Amino acid sequence: SQKIEQNSEALNIQEGKTATLTCNYTNYSPAYLQWYRQDPGRGPVFLLLIRENEKEKRKERLKVTFDTTLKQSLFHITASQPADSATYLCALDMRGGSYIPTFGRGTSLIVHP
């Protein structure tokens, strides 16, 4: 069966360090992979999209990598700040199937001052 796995344990890091979150998937052939941020009591907000033929995407302090061989995406936040504390969700679009993205359960990031 198709699975998207994100670390259920919260990631705790110190301010200024790089946070790295992982999204692994099985039995998918995603055309795209998206990352969203969700703050408590709010709806998810889109951050970045990376296509299957792209290895890396950057936006300000954010960087996403996409390894279709390893079936993994890494999401990096450099020079992290307490304001980056949130839950981060990955979502995959299926190629050749439904275009509706399927979401992972998310990983909570806590940045300590």
With CB under 8 A as the contact rule, the residue among 1, 9, 27, 43 that binds other proteins is 43
If binding is defined by CB under 8 A, does position 103 make contact with other proteins? yes
Residues 9-38, interacting with other proteins (CB under 8 A)? 31-32, 34, 36
Stretch that binds other proteins, among 13-21, 62-70, 78-86, 102-110 (CB under 8 A): 102-110
| Shortest distance (Å) from residue 71 CB to other proteins | 18
85: CB partners within 8 A, 6+ apart: 109, 110, 111
Q: Which of 3, 17, 58, 105 binds other proteins (CB under 8 A)?
A: 105
Phi, psi of 83 (to 5 degrees): -65, -15
99 binds other proteins (CB under 8 A): yes
User: What per-residue string of b and e applies to 18-49 under the rule 16 or more CB within 10 Å gives b?
Assistant: ebebebbbeebebbbbbbbbbeeeeebeebbb
How far apart, in whole angstroms, are the C-alpha atoms of residue 90 and residue 70?
16
Of 106, 113, 104, nearest in space to 86 by CA: 106
Give whichever of 64 and 80 is closer to other proteins, judged by the CB atom.
Answer: 64
Q: Name the residues that contact other proteins, by CB under 8 A.
A: 8, 31-32, 34, 36, 41-46, 49, 51, 89, 91, 93, 99-106
